[in-house]
Amino acid sequence: MQFSCINEWMAIGLGIRAHTSASAPSQSDGGSGRYKWIALSNVTLGVLLATLDGSITLIAMPDIFRGIHLDPLVPANSFYLLWMILGFLVVTSVLIVSLGRLGDMYGRVRMYDFGFVVYTLASLLLTVDWMDGRAGATYLIAFRIVQGIGAAFLLANAAAIITDAFPANQRGMALGINNIVGVSGMFVGLVLGGLLAPIDWRLVFLISVPVGLFGTVWAYLKLEERSTPKRARVDWWGNVTFALGLVLIMVSVTYGIRPYGSSPTGWGSPRVLALLGAGVASLAAFAAIESRVAEPMFRLPLFRIRAFSFGTLSTFLSAVARGGLLFMLIIWLQGIWLPLHGVDFTDTPLRAGIYMLPLTLGMLVAGPTSGYLSDRFGARWFATGGMLGSALSFFLLTLLPIDFSFWLFALVLAMVGVSMGMFASPNRAAVMNSLPPQHRGAGGGMNQTFQNSAQVLSIGVFFTLMILGLASNLPHTLATGLQAHGVSAAAANRASHAPPVSVLFAAFLGFNPVEHLLGAHALGSLSGASRALVTGRSFFPHLISVPFRTGLHEAFAFAIAACLIAAAASLMRGGTYHYEDRPPARASGDGIAGEGQPALADGDAPDARAHGCDGAHGARERAAPDGRAPRACGRLPNSGASALARTTTAEEQHAR
């Protein structure tokens, strides 16, 4: 069944004209016929583009900096390097909740279509950067942020559009395909960046233009608005305080991984402490505002839904574990392993992307499969098992030597991909199924915000742990290694005091920084053989391999801990929970109520019914009348009325 569904989805492609919204099936049946596959196809294309552009510049960064004639190893230029990478992620993290809320208010398809337009236009403008140096880098950062705004429109409304289009018993499979293609886009972007950037760095942006134009026209012609937009006042103060808080914290991450004074990191600097303090204060003000305003941006009562709250927590923790992994693998392959195996530094970006394909393939296989199975058996054990498998995979990575056997490395990477895919698809489906229909945009955006924010924070944590690991061993290793090959003690000591972050960036970019560290005078004093050796492709990777291993183990230990906590959170989500409309309807005010759903006072949890309990059979969940989240259903001996009566809580009996 799974493969026939996928074949049908791929086969119809563009083969049907969209119905008008007036003829759309009701939300209760989630859509029927071919439209759901058209919606899945288009939305998956949009998510693929958005996530692909989050990583395509990682591998292309050396060619981009050469193209705009900017040296990324100069400490003052590290700002441009970091923001060219992180600016896209920061803006998507900040805006997704607001844009998801706008989708609930003005139409999800309308917001999604607009996102395609913004994204495509920004991609075009990125290709026409005519400036060099810092001006050229500033131009690229500015339009990467605009591109991120378009991507945020796409990501904020994608899951809600799919949830509206598919019935509950197919959402796991549909969201699984969408989610895993999105996550895989990060790794596909590495290969595309490695292929296109050596030809011309502008191609990494230009490739998105025709695809984005096609997706824009397709979405405009085919997608239907199946939600019921509900106009409301915009929560301006909530938007401002939330965006300001996230931006301040994420900016502090970019300064925290840079050196400050004699410290290898800047986490103790007054600037970073001030940014962190201001960010936390702004988020505290945001929480206070959201609990008081009539139409909040962040629907805090949604966290009273057990499946949503624990699903979102496990999403955050899994992204914390996964976010820095990509950077660690790039550094490991591009900066150390490939040069040690005779690959020229200019060829390492493409090779690194290709050698990480086992991870992508593992996700592509496990994601839709686990999503399909979770529709039948529930998400709880698939998601929990995926996080436990991820923890085991990270542990196996720590056992590999720096100069590993590729096939063993590929096997562990495939295990990482299978484990992540096994978690991501069922978890996303469980989160979206738990949401009231009119709040799917906001709730999906909240979930995506936690995921994107966690990726940025994870990068900061992974880089910090790597830098601290390098700082403990690198100076001595670098000084003794250079002196052993004829470099004077003074020159070697000067080079050994280079900030660890500069060495880390060099490895990340696939650069050999020895010539930059020593300078022309010190290199000129060496014999021809010694000069060729220290500037060769294997000297620097071999030199930093032991310090790198120390930092790598610390980073992976952190990832293991995050995965284990995520597994515990996933286990606590309860049984299968599907939000279902209930007639008759009454005015909801500020409550969380669905169409045909009793209204709730502020702070109440949505009333809902659940289908199944970790499977196709089970009890219904009911919201407690005092506003607490619905209790997870237990496994019932049968589905009759007597079985339902045995699961009734004392509160429900009192309410009745």
Question: What gap in Å lies between CA 491 and CA 523, rounded to an integer?
Answer: 10
Note whether 98 and 91 are within 8 A (CB).
no
Average pLDDT value for residue range 514-540: 81
Lowest mean pLDDT among 223-227, 427-431, 567-571, 623-627: 623-627
Return the higher-pLDDT residue of 515 and 640: 515
pLDDT-based confidence at residue 568 (cuts at 50, 70, 90): very high
Cα distance between the two ends of the chain: 42
Distance, CA of 213 to CA of 339 (rounded, Å): 39
Cα(648)–Cα(15) distance, integer angstroms: 49
The lowest-confidence range among 232-246, 332-346, 567-581 is 567-581
Distances from the Cα of 530 to the Cα of 56, 332, 346, 481, 484, angstroms: 37, 25, 22, 12, 10
pLDDT averaged over every residue in the chain = 78
pLDDT tops 80 at residue 293 = yes
Question: What integer pLDDT is reported at residue 46 of this predicted model?
Answer: 92
- In the numeric block, which tokens belong to residue 596? 């045909």
- Residues 397-446: pLDDT tens digits? 999 999 999 999 999 999 999 998 899 888 888 888 888 887 777 787 78
Q: Do 207 and 82 meet the contact criterion of CB atoms below 8 Å apart?
A: no
pLDDT > 70: what percent of the chain? 82
Per-residue pLDDT tens over the stretch 187-205: 788 888 888 988 899 999 9
More confident residue, 490 or 627: 490
Which stretches does DSSP call E strand in 88-163? none
Q: Which residue has the tokens 């601290």?
A: 468
In angstroms, rounded to a whole number, what is the distance separating the alpha carbons of residues 526 and 485?
A: 9
At residue 178, the pLDDT reads 84
Does residue 390 register a pLDDT over 50?
yes
Place of tokens 């289908």: 611
What is the C-alpha to C-alpha distance for residues 444 and 564, in angstroms, rounded to an integer? 24
- Give the C-alpha separation, 222 to 14, whole Å: 8
Asked if 619 and 644 touch (Cβ cutoff 8 Å), the reply is: yes
pLDDT at 604: 37
Mean pLDDT of all residues in 166-187:
80
Q: In the prediction, which pLDDT does 580 show?
A: 61
Tokens for 366, please give them: 């496990």
Q: Which residue type is seen at 131? A: M
pLDDT at 589: 42
| Structure confidence at residue 55 (pLDDT) | 80
Residue 578 is predicted with a pLDDT of: 64
Q: How confident is the model at residue 583 (pLDDT cuts 50, 70, 90)?
A: very low
pLDDT at 579: 65
User: Of 580 and 418, which is predicted with more confidence?
Assistant: 418
Whether residue 650 has pLDDT greater than 50: no
pLDDT of 581 strictly over 70: no
Rounded Cα distance between 472 and 456, Å, is 25
Given this model, what pLDDT does residue 577 score? 66
Q: Give the bridge partners for 260, in sequence order.
A: 263
Peptide bond into 72 cis (omega under 30): no
| 589-648: pLDDT as tens digits | 444 443 333 333 333 334 444 444 443 333 333 433 333 444 444 333 333 333 323 333
On the question of pLDDT at 24 being above 70, the answer is: no
Among 4-13, 35-44, 501-510, the minimum mean pLDDT is found in: 4-13
Would you report the helix, strand and coil content of the chain in percent, each value rounded to 5? 70, 0, 30
Furthest-apart CA pair in the chain: how many Å? 91
Q: Does residue 9 have a pLDDT over 70?
A: no
Average pLDDT over residues 500-511: 76
Say if residue 141's pLDDT is above 70. yes
Q: Mapped to the 3 state alphabet, what secondary structure does 48-75 carry?
A: HHHHHHHHHHHHHHHHHHHHCCCCCCCH
Q: Is the pLDDT of residue 574 over 90?
A: no
Least confident of 61-75, 363-377, 479-493, 581-595: 581-595
Q: For 67-81, 319-333, 591-605, which range has the lowest pLDDT when averaged over its residues?
A: 591-605
Instruction: Give yes or no for residue 359 having a pLDDT over 80.
Output: yes
